[in-house]
Amino acid sequence: MYEKIQKHLRKEMESIREAGLFKEERIITSPQSGEIELNTGEKVLNFCANNYLGLSNHPKLIEAAKEGLDSHGFGMSSVRFICGTQDLHKKLEKKIAEFFGTEDTILYAACFDANGGVFEPMLTSEDAIISDSLNHASIIDGVRLCKAHRYRYNNADMADLEEKLKMAQEQRFRVIVTDAVFSMDGNVAPMDKIIELADKYDALVMIDECHSAGVVGKTGRGVTELFDIRGKVEIITGTLGKAFGGAIGGFTTGKKEIIELLRQRSRPYLFSNSLPPSVVNAGIKMFDMMAETHELQDKLHSNTSYFMDKMKNAGFDIKPTESAIIAVMLYDAKLSQDFAEKMLEEGIYVIGFYYPVVPKGQARIRVQVSAAHEKEHLDKCVEAFIKVGKKLNVIK
Ligand SMILES: *Cc1c(COP(=O)(O)O)cnc(C)c1O
């Protein structure tokens, strides 16, 4: 039996390679950081991690993780509702709600699970989900698992959203769902207009804060801070796997009745293991740090604008951004791959993205700036961009 499918699988792999879509994994031998070491012995500056605040290797979080291990053990061996809830889990949920100014929080193993388990418990075939066309894969999967009517509006296109809201008036409840920051362009969702339309057409709003929380807004509270709409969004999902330490873990935070129902009915919560104490204790420490100071956000924001200015002055075509994601537009797929390769030779690790990850003819290098970067790192990155850009005739 296996032979038949084996042949099929080999063919599939061939076609992935032929299409140039095979994803190689580079092997890192150091902790995740602004500067990393590869298994080839090379040391490179890392501009492609979601380590926006530089917390992935932060001594205070490592210490808190160790304390969590010592005081609460290694693993939970249980889901939350059987015997997988420690005082630490409750404490972290409360901290997350305080951070976002929401009523209650529920933890998941990852935001992929939070998004996968948020719609189905709450909505039925009588309801509607109105989703941005560039939303994350986990939102798309979550929508698929739910029987609600599906409407898709073009990325951040408010006229299109309004059209879809009009169509969805037939349904009982409506939920507009959007990424807060879109990961390929770095643009933020126009939350002020979304809230206005939600009011006008009687819809709930859900945002996915994964690339936004910790980054966007003066103190990193995300798009609800940026647009001054704290408390006006019913559902927020997010991850502990990006700016917030980068380990693992996801959450849904928002209106308390919604969170209560998720604890009873959300399948990834009910049927998957509880987060380990070390991760939870480090999470608590991380939110304490966020409550004390926003110096990491200040550093990240100044790093981002410093880098943007230098790149624009050098003549690069940069997409407008309000996050720490900077899209350096090259348009040509092959060029984006050559560019990234040459950047690595210069000691800079960045990734070139092209169709189907981004639209055809929209290939780019995505740069992710971090508070872990120092001025000299940013300068070195810009110098490499200029050198490679000239060599490949991208800039003069
Ligand atoms: C990364 C990401 C996720 C998944 O988060 P995990 O915690 O890694 O599962 C979900 N949504 C968006 C928008 C993301 O960028």
- Ligand 1 site-directed mutation target among 143, 239, 279, most atoms within 8 Å of CB: 239
pLDDT at 19: 85
CA of 239 to the centre of ligand 1 (A): 6
- Confirm or reject: Cβ of 250 under 6 Å from ligand 1: yes
Measure the CA–CA gap between 316 and 385, rounded to whole angstroms: 9
- Confirm or reject: Cβ of 135 under 6 Å from ligand 1: no
- Confirm or reject: Cβ of 138 under 6 Å from ligand 1: yes
CA-based nearest residue to 256, from 110, 112, 106, 129: 106
pLDDT at 20: 80
The yes-or-no answer on residue 33 being catalytic is no
- Confirm or reject: Cβ of 179 under 6 Å from ligand 1: yes
The yes-or-no answer on residue 302 being catalytic is no
The yes-or-no answer on residue 149 being catalytic is no
Q: How far is CA 259 from CA 80, 146, 172, 266, 275, in A?
A: 14, 17, 20, 9, 17
Measure the CA–CA gap between 211 and 231, rounded to whole angstroms: 20
pLDDT at 21: 82
Extract the tokens encoding 367: 């740069």
Q: How far is CA 121 from CA 63, 85, 146, 253, in A?
A: 37, 21, 8, 15
Measure the CA–CA gap between 353 and 229, rounded to whole angstroms: 33
- Tens digit of pLDDT at every position of the chain (396 positions): 999 999 999 999 999 999 888 888 999 999 999 999 999 999 999 999 999 999 999 999 999 999 999 999 999 999 999 999 999 999 999 999 999 999 999 999 999 999 999 999 999 999 999 999 999 999 999 999 999 999 999 999 999 999 999 999 999 999 999 999 999 999 999 999 999 999 999 999 999 999 999 999 999 999 999 999 999 999 999 999 999 999 999 999 999 999 999 999 999 999 999 999 999 999 999 999 999 999 999 999 999 999 999 999 999 999 999 999 999 999 999 999 999 999 999 999 999 999 989 999 999 999 999 999 999 999 999 999 999 999 999 999
Single-letter code of the amino acid located at 235: I
CA-based nearest residue to 143, from 103, 115, 108: 115
Instruction: Give the nearest ligand 1 atom to 115 CA.
Output: 10
Extract the tokens encoding 321: 């951004």
Q: What pTM does this model have? A: 0.97
